[in-house]
Amino acid sequence: MQPPSLPHFLTPAGRIIGWRDGTVVRASGIRYARAERFQFPEPEPAAAEPILATSPAPACPQVADPRLALAFGDFYTDATFDEDCLRLSITVPADRPPEEVLPVLVWVHGGSYVTGAGDVPLYDPAALVTEQRVVFVAVTYRLGLLGFLGSPSGTPPNLGLLDLREALRWVQRNIAAFGGNPGRVTLLGHSSGADAIAHLMVAEGTAGLFRRVIMHSAPLGLAPNRQRMVQVMLQAAGRLPPTAPVAEILARESSVTKAVRRFGLKSGMPFGTQYGAYPLPAEAELDQAWQAVAPSVDVLIGATREETRFFAVIEPKLRWLPRLPLLGAPLTQLLVGATSKRIYLAPAQAFAQRHARAGGRAFLFSVVFRPAGDTFGAAHTVDLPLLLGTQASWAATPLLANSTWEQIHQAGRQVRQLWADFARTGELPAHLSIPDVLTVEQV
């Protein structure tokens, strides 16, 4: 028997035992599905015994990227890694009365489809949950060769996307027991997580699983015309034994990444969704599919003003450029401006405009916030601490440079309010500007 002081939730999935953490209650590491390696996810059956949900979800095994430390320090503080990673974690206000029904935010983490996890400390939603009275669900799913590369005769493609669909089905069945409204589910994603959300909108079997989407820094400019690169990736991966040690799978993943470097910008995110493979339409049918769902999904999409400055700072091959006498700064700015527009900014605007023309509600945002110190500027990921994380998790990160947590927290409070308002109603002001933070406009 569990101590009676621990909070519990009676759900169709079973009796879930959570834990109190200051102003929030958490239920962590709940299994939403199971999957054999390279196989489709199967929904987790209802548990006869109580589910002890007091440990973070493990991260999917992944190839370590030392460049991340240049922005985030120790990104994986206390993390564990396990292929049994199809888990989700739920955070709710500790003082929620039984009659209060709250909007639901489902977090899909980024990391180029090869790194990241739902429960890393930088993504702590406590401030968002407490201030804005929302239920927050963080999902962990399969990555890299384990989740995002396949062929008709081999490993099924899009397994990580199917993991996310299974998590959303779990949310629909169970979130009411946590005070969440299953009819008011908003997907919130960053980078590849936002890219995944865009494709969940048109994936088979997702109708009715969510009402709204918020997409930060989706690299939609890298998504088209990937067939040739995917074939090279499959050749480099070779036959993947389902019983091989996970270290061998990760070694193959490194080989795949090296094999596609000649594909230019697209090689910056070689793994991803594959069109024409279940559950996605063919690439030629994508625009029509997005238009068809537009009236039923509200969209808030945008990017930071200097997205690719992040990679100019952390990529060893590019770090020499800003140091060039006289020409370094202007050349860097030119390169950052051109690549940010191509990969993030122009595709986000086009996505919002198509959505609006098709009868959907669409808002476009631009994050201009720059941490004090200005190494990264208004770069990729600089918007994350405005929404998620704590002083303890972000204070030591190089990304925030000389900014104080109070500065970050106060700027973020306004963003959290707006994003929660969108999750509640689908509405935002037609034109809005928060000086030195962001702008939003209805399309």
Write the pLDDT tens digit of every residue in 339-367.
999 999 999 999 999 999 999 999 999 99
**Active-site residue (options: 192, 217, 380, 403):** 380
pTM of the model: 0.96
Residues above pLDDT 90, as percent of the chain: 81
Q: How high is the mean pLDDT of the chain?
A: 94
pLDDT of residue 425: 97
User: φ, ψ for residue 73 (rounded to 5)?
Assistant: 65, -135
Check 44, 253, 306, 307 and give the catalytic one.
307
Peptide bond into 219 cis (omega under 30): no
Q: Give the CB-side neighbour count of residue 140, counting CA atoms within 13 A.
A: 31
DSSP 296-330: G-EEEEEEETTTTHHHHHH-TTTTTGGGSTTTHHH
Residue 270 lies in a domain: no
Residue 163 forms part of a structural domain: yes
pLDDT at 316: 66
Respond yes or no: is residue 307 known to be catalytic.
yes
Predicted pLDDT of residue 1: 45
Which DSSP letter does residue 14 get?
Answer: E
Instruction: Tell whether the model's pLDDT for residue 403 goes beyond 70.
Output: yes
Distance, in Å, from the CA atom of 40 to the CA atom of 170, rounded to the nearest integer, reads 16
Distance CA 266, CA 248 (A): 25
For residue 328, what are the CA distances in angstroms to 320, 324, 361, 380, 437? 8, 4, 42, 20, 27
In a domain, 160, yes or no: yes
- Domain of 36, CATH number, reads 3.40.50.1820
Overall number of domains in the chain? 1
Does residue 336 lie within any of the structural domains? yes
pLDDT digits 0-9 by tens, 20-65 = 999 999 999 999 999 999 999 999 999 999 999 999 999 999 998 8
Q: Is 380 labeled as catalytic in the residue annotation? A: yes
In a domain, 182, yes or no: yes
Give per-residue pLDDT as tens, 257-266.
999 999 989 9
User: Is pLDDT of 2 > 60?
Assistant: no
Provide the domain limits for residue 168: 8-223+287-442
Name every residue whose Cβ is closer than 8 Å to that of residue 187 and which is 6 or more positions away in sequence.
Answer: 105, 106, 108, 168, 197, 200, 210, 212, 213, 214
Residue 409 known to be catalytic: no
425 in a structural domain: yes
Report pLDDT for 323.
63
Residue 244, domain member (yes or no): no
Which residue of the set 191, 340, 393, 403 is catalytic?
191
